[in-house]
Structure 1
Amino acid sequence: MTSHTRLAIAASAGACALALGVSAPALAEQQDQAMVSVFHGIPGMTVDVYANGDQLIRDFKPGTVTDPKALDAGTYDIRIFAAGKGPGGTPALEKKIEVSEGANATVAAHLSADGTPELTAFTNDVSQVDAGKARLTVRHVAAAPAVDVRAGGQPVFSNLTNPKEDTAEVDAGTLNTDVVLAGTDTVAIGPADLRLGEGTSNVVYAWGSADDKNLALATQTFSGMASSPRGVPAGGNGAAVAPNSSDLNPAWAAGAGVVAVAGVLVARRVARRRG
């Protein structure tokens, strides 16, 4: 990897690091706040992140999803360094970032379909789900062609392209999933078992590079969207999964009922694509 590429990767990873404020309540209780997470999906660079002179993330590694953080709306001076090189040295990137109030978003630093580092902001759906259900969202942020996402061998999301997403409401339980090249049975990632707790909103990122053979999955989960009487304020956590993992098993799933799932499990298709 050239120094120019490393700088571009560090810049892309760092520009989204504004999400890590100093406090992390379950909800932004002030109208002038936002809940923001960061997903680092560019292989090959570990960075430290500073905002307004304070270190927010140390050794931020590819494949990591941060917990949602409450940020006051406003402007942040973000400075990004190669791990261990700040704050006295020259930053790989310094940029002022504007944080809008009322948002619940994840900013992803990832590769485009042709392998160029870039940033994409996604809105996280933390609205209520029906009793016994969970929300599943898949985001294609890998340097790879269009893919289908399957559960039990059957497509749930089809022809998903970078950097789009698709969403469905499914039965809570366990999904045996894989990612295949669109319209084929050629497996690109997986298989992997994904546990979906009742009343959760689960985001799966397909990231990495097909050419470099490091495609992987990472998960982000928001809890507390169950219908009454189980409804509670929505929180969330992020968990990363190693390349081609055989088990996606976030800590939030502990104690959730496990249901063997085969075939098409979509109970109510929300089917949403965002550019």
Structure 2
Amino acid sequence: MRIMYPRRFIAGAAAAGVAFIGMSAVTATPAFAATSQVSVVHGIPGTPVDVYVNGERTLENFQPGDVAGPLELEEGSYDLALTRPGEPVDSAILTADDAAVPGGANVSIVAHLSATGEPTITPFANDVSATAAGQARLIVRHTAAAPGVDVRAGGEPVFTNLTNPNEESADLPAGTVTADVVLTGTDTVVLGPTDLNLNEGTATIVYAIGSAQDESLAVVAQTISGLHSSPDGVPSGTGGMADNGLSLGWYLLAGFGVLLLVGGGGLLARTRVATSSAGRR
């Protein structure tokens, strides 16, 4: 199956693919090169994949529910392909040709199921703007083959009628929140309840992945740190394995091919300026 995407999606896909490359052989970027922070999520149940970049297999047997990154990727263009493990690149399940990796972005690329259960790719630009003192950011992404849902905290709806492949976010007081996910307008629990630890100055991204019909719904969680009003460093992030104890609203960004996820992103320009002390004399 070959799926074509608009350029903005392709850009994210490329970034994701490069991310996989980075797992095996990412070299330092040259001075002044624009780079991106890229995380990838594999959210298609029962579908491990091999990842090819520019015709070379860079990741083998990548498992659903895994998260890769964040990786610092150099801007450029790449051909990406996902295959079933051991199959050649010309039997790709999903491809993105001449995918452009933008510079200065913070992106999560998610390969997941559409609302109707078809493998697809969705790019998400991560909000890495500063949070106020004592605040944390919660981002919920619906990337599962499931109907619209409401995300509740303490039994009260926080996000309503969230549908695939959309997201909602809010800055909340840091602390522990008990949350669950229900079908829109009902009390029918789809995922959860679970306790979410929202740490000050972080963004917790929750993806719902899998299929309601196949009873394979699960969650994946990603955390981006360094968002304090006076951050200690450049916001990047951490990835983790799928955690079946989390509720749907918390990590809806599933990635079938972690490599397939694409995103434009929050600005994250990084430059290196070399100064010569001798030159200043």
Aligned to 2:182: 180
Partner of 2:239: 238
CA contact (8 A) 1:75 1:99 kept: yes
Counterparts of 1:153-192 in structure 2, within 5 Å, are 153-192=155-194
Tell me the TM-score normalised to structure 1 length. 0.76
Q: State the partner residue of 1:253.
A: none
Q: Identify the residue that residue 264 of structure 1 maps to in structure 2.
A: none
1:226 maps to 228
Kindly tell me: are residues 104 and 84 of structure 1, through their superposed partners in 2, closer, same or farther at Cα, counting changes over 3 Å? same
Instruction: Tell me the amino acid that sits aligned with residue 188 of structure 2.
Output: T
Match of 1:18 in 2: 18
The worse-fitting range, judged by mean Cα deviation, of 231-240 and 144-153 is 231-240
Kept in 1: contact 2:106–2:236 (CA 8 A): no
Percent of residue pairs bearing the same amino acid type: 48
Q: Residue in 1 aligned with 2:139?
A: 137
- Give SS of 2:165's match: coil
Greater relative contact order structure (CA < 8 Å, 6+ sep): 2
2:208 corresponds to: 206
Change beyond 3 A, Cα 1:69–1:94: same
- Do the aligned residues in 1 keep the contact of 2:140 with 2:169 (CA within 8 Å)? yes
Structure 2 residue runs of 5 or longer lacking an equivalent are 4-12, 251-281
Partner of 1:256: none
Shift of 1:58: 2.8
Instruction: Say whether the 8 Å CA contact 1:24–1:70 is kept in structure 2.
Output: no
Q: Runs of 4 or more off by more than 4 Å in structure 1?
A: 27-31, 89-94
Work out the CA distance in 2 between the residues paired with 1:83 and 1:61: 10
The residue type equivalent to 2:82 in the other structure is I
> In structure 2, what is the Cα distance between the partners aligned to 1:28 and 1:150?
46
After TM superposition, the structure 1 stretch with the greater mean CA deviation from structure 2, 48-57 or 124-133, is 48-57
**Displacement of 1:40 after TM fit?**
1.3
Q: CA deviation at 1:140?
A: 0.5
**1:84 offset after TM fit, Å?**
3.7
Q: Which moved more, 1:143-152 or 1:29-38?
A: 29-38
Give TM-score, length-normalised by structure 2: 0.74
SS in 2 for 1:212: coil
Cα RMSD of the aligned pairs, angstroms, is: 3.0
